[in-house]
Chains A and B, each alone.
Chain A
Amino acid sequence: MPCPPILPSRSTLALLLSLAGAMPAFAQELTVVSFGGSYQEAQSKALFVPAAKALGIKLKEETYSSIADLRLKVKAGAVTWDVVASGSGSAARAGSEGILEKLDYKVIDTSSFVPGTAQDYCVGGDVFSTVLAWNTKTYGQNGPQNWADFWDIKKFPGKRSYRKGVAGALEPALMADGVPPEKVYEVLSQPGGVERAIKKIRELKPHIAVWWSSGAQHAQLMKDGEVDMITGWNGRFDVAAKDGAKVAYTFNQALLDYDCFAVAKGAPNKDLAMKFLAEISKPQYQAEFTKYITYGPTNKKAYDLGTIDAAYARTLPSHPDNAAKQVPIDLDWYTKFETQASAAYQNMLTE
């Protein structure tokens, strides 16, 4: 006689499974991970906590530093995160690498989103801009208005600061070199396009006093008056200006980019995560978020609710008037060319 089965019979197993499946119904816990600091605090207050309350689920928040952390978790088969906040570029690459779940846009409604802010693996949460900012003590309120001015050291003498990484660094150079904003990625995709941009940056290199590498740093540089002109993220400059920094910026020819939410590959509560994303993508949440930080909503309906003060709305990157002046970041280009372009950029930097 064969060994008596220690394993439960098929029917018992089915019962156990159904029980396990039913478990989350009374103890559903969703783990959300973001970048910490004032940014996550804003997300938590405006999005995560209210959405969890509305869905009647428990919420666990964690912080992480870069998408490389998620990659390790997925490769090790130990995914404990459900929803992951990310930059749009990182998410696009992470998605193509297979460490994110495809989003279910039957659940998440993005019909009123700013075009291009909902990709296969990531749904936009807020819009920010890489802008040209200047020291108002040096140039007054009417400072440089476009990238050609940024490169014009005769008309605007003074020290510049530019990004140390390649993301958002090549587009301004091409516009300064006379490429129309809508043609920037077309030129960058052609052979020699990246070199053309880098050549233009090399021209300006003697006048670049600091190559910044973080948002906190570029805000500090303007607060200290260390440089006269800089590229950077609009929200940081607003915070610095509120702190008394002599800084102003323009949305003209700025690069429109967004932060987004993704679902980790093999997330323990994948379906719930989709519902959660659907909830926080609703306009009322996004409108609330703008109260904590000057990043605009991706859902245009947030502007129609009337909860965002009209004067304040005009200062947000995704406000239609501002969005029209900007160049949306092309994520496909970054997925295809970023590592290559970065190598060339690093070579230029270390020359």
Chain B
Amino acid sequence: MSALGLSVAGEVVDDFHAAALRRDHWRERLGLAALAAPALLLVTVTVLLPVGWLFGLSFFDDAGAPSLEHYRRMLAEPSYGRTFRTTFEISLATTAICILLGYPLAYFLSQLPRRAANLCMIAVLLPFWTSLLVRTYAWLVLLQRSGLINTWGMQLGLWSEPLQLVHNVGGTLIGMVHIMLPFLVLPLYGTMRAIDRDMLRAASSLGSTPAHGFWSVFFPLSLPGLAAGSALVFVLCLGFYVTPAMLGGGKVTMVSNRIANDIELFFNWGAASALGVVLLVITLVVLVLTARLSRGAGLFGGGH
């Protein structure tokens, strides 16, 4: 009995401490929440409310009665499906090219001494100082029929007829990759910098070749950065408007171009909202999947 009584008293003391700890924990949480409150409020007012309103609008027809008309139209007209397919194809292609160009670049930068790497990073960030519109126009000037590249190419005798470099998918991809590349390089570079060089040395002291060491140690460790950068690029591409509108020659219709078109045509936010809602849902799905994937990669590669 006495032993039992003791243990009960011990539990009471434990409970008391646990309760105090829990209270502290909650107080801290509340404090943090209070700190975040202004930002949360701002996000609610500027993001959640308008998006929610837009979401609601898409379920009403022109007369204001609840209906799924806007979604039905998306299924009935083949052009909507094609628009979504184009959007994803272009976004995927841009992301893939960014990875092919950006990964070696980030790797190269991460191997440089800090000072040299910082200088190179400025070069990567420099385009951000110019407006997106100006950069897109610059590509138009370079790539068009009477543009610099065609003029030089023909003067050098490389080709005799002007090449169609812009107003098509190719021109759109060139413009988009140029604008998106820094978004991939930045997070990737950060991750690569943080990788412990001793790991690679350990690999080679255990007898791995440099290539094998790279693929079995460095690459898996860089995957979280690659996943973050790729997701960023992909999601930004999904909502791209200016570049496909200017460099696509009307042949590359992405969802945002279609939204603009539908607002003009139907005078109505509902039709456009429905497109926005579908794009938002698909984007969220992609984000969740990427988060899963990158967590898996982190577990696999980081070993923590």
Min Cβ gap A247→B in Å is: 14
Q: Is B146 touching A350 in the complex (CB atoms < 8 A)?
A: no
**Contact string against B for A residues 333-351, beta-carbon threshold 8 Å, 1 for contact and 0 otherwise:** 0000011001100110111
A199 at the interface (CB under 8 A from B): no
Q: Is A346 touching B77 in the complex (CB atoms < 8 A)?
A: yes
A105 at the interface (CB under 8 A from B): no
Known: A224-B146, A350-B83, A350-B86. A210 touches B167 (CB 8 A): yes
**Contact string against B for A residues 206-245, beta-carbon threshold 8 Å, 1 for contact and 0 otherwise:** 0001111100000000001110000000000000000000
Q: Is A224 touching B79 in the complex (CB atoms < 8 A)?
A: no
Min Cβ gap B47→A in Å is: 20
> What A residues does B267 contact at CB under 8 A?
66-68, 71, 90, 93-94, 97
B133 at the interface (CB under 8 A from A): no
Query: Complex Cα distance A290/B2, Å?
Result: 108
A275 at the interface (CB under 8 A from B): no
Min Cβ gap A78→B in Å is: 16
> What A residues does B164 contact at CB under 8 A?
209
Q: Is B261 touching A346 in the complex (CB atoms < 8 A)?
A: yes
**Contact string against A for B residues 262-304, beta-carbon threshold 8 Å, 1 for contact and 0 otherwise:** 0111111100000000000000000000000000000000000
> What B residues does A159 contact at CB under 8 A?
145
A72 at the interface (CB under 8 A from B): yes
Q: Is B167 touching A343 in the complex (CB atoms < 8 A)?
A: no
Chain A: CB-nearest residue to B265: A342
Q: Is B79 touching A212 in the complex (CB atoms < 8 A)?
A: no
Q: Is B268 touching A211 in the complex (CB atoms < 8 A)?
A: no
Q: Select which of B82, B145, B264 is within 8 A of A165 by beta carbon.
A: B264
Residue of B145, B263, B269 with most chain A CB atoms under a 10 A cut-off = B145
Query: Complex Cα distance A34/B191, Å?
Result: 51
B245 at the interface (CB under 8 A from A): yes
> What A residues does B78 contact at CB under 8 A?
347, 350
Query: Complex Cα distance A176/B79, Å?
Result: 26
A270 at the interface (CB under 8 A from B): no
B253 at the interface (CB under 8 A from A): yes
Min Cβ gap B184→A in Å is: 29
Min Cβ gap B171→A in Å is: 11
Q: Is A211 touching B263 in the complex (CB atoms < 8 A)?
A: no
Q: Is B79 touching A211 in the complex (CB atoms < 8 A)?
A: no
A325 at the interface (CB under 8 A from B): no
B249 at the interface (CB under 8 A from A): yes
A301 at the interface (CB under 8 A from B): no
Q: Select which of B82, B249, B264, B265 is within 8 A of A211 by beta carbon.
A: B249
B230 at the interface (CB under 8 A from A): no
A200 at the interface (CB under 8 A from B): no
Min Cβ gap B73→A in Å is: 8
Min Cβ gap B68→A in Å is: 17
> What B residues does A226 contact at CB under 8 A?
144-146, 167
Chain B: CB-nearest residue to A164: B250
Residue of A71, A72, A211, A346 with most chain B CB atoms under a 10 A cut-off = A346
**Contact string against B for A residues 69-95, beta-carbon threshold 8 Å, 1 for contact and 0 otherwise:** 001100000000000000000100110
Q: Select which of B77, B146, B253 is within 8 A of A225 by beta carbon.
A: B146
Q: Is A209 touching B264 in the complex (CB atoms < 8 A)?
A: no
Residue of A212, A224, A351 with most chain B CB atoms under a 10 A cut-off = A224
Q: Is B144 touching A339 in the complex (CB atoms < 8 A)?
A: no
> What B residues does A211 contact at CB under 8 A?
249-251
Chain B: CB-nearest residue to A214: B245
Residue of B77, B146, B164, B258 with most chain A CB atoms under a 10 A cut-off = B77
Chain B: CB-nearest residue to A66: B264
Q: Is A71 touching B268 in the complex (CB atoms < 8 A)?
A: yes
> What B residues does A67 contact at CB under 8 A?
267
Query: Complex Cα distance A165/B261, Å?
Result: 8
> What A residues does B79 contact at CB under 8 A?
343, 346-347, 349-350
Q: Select which of B144, B253, B268 is within 8 A of A349 by beta carbon.
A: B253
Min Cβ gap A272→B in Å is: 26
Min Cβ gap A313→B in Å is: 33
Other than the given A67-B267, A343-B77, 15 more pairs (CB < 8 A) read: A68-B267, A68-B268, A71-B268, A93-B267, A165-B261, A210-B250, A212-B250, A226-B146, A338-B265, A339-B265, A342-B265, A343-B73, A350-B83, A350-B86, A351-B82
Q: What would 11 A/B residue contacts be, using CB atoms closer than 8 Å? A: A68-B268, A94-B267, A97-B267, A165-B261, A209-B167, A210-B249, A211-B251, A225-B145, A346-B77, A347-B78, A350-B79
Q: Which 5 pairs, one residue from A and one from B, show the smallest C-beta to C-beta distance?
A: A211-B250, A350-B82, A346-B79, A210-B249, A164-B250
Contact residues of B with A, CB < 8 Å?
A: 73, 77-79, 82-83, 86, 144-146, 164, 167, 245, 249-251, 253, 258, 261, 263-269
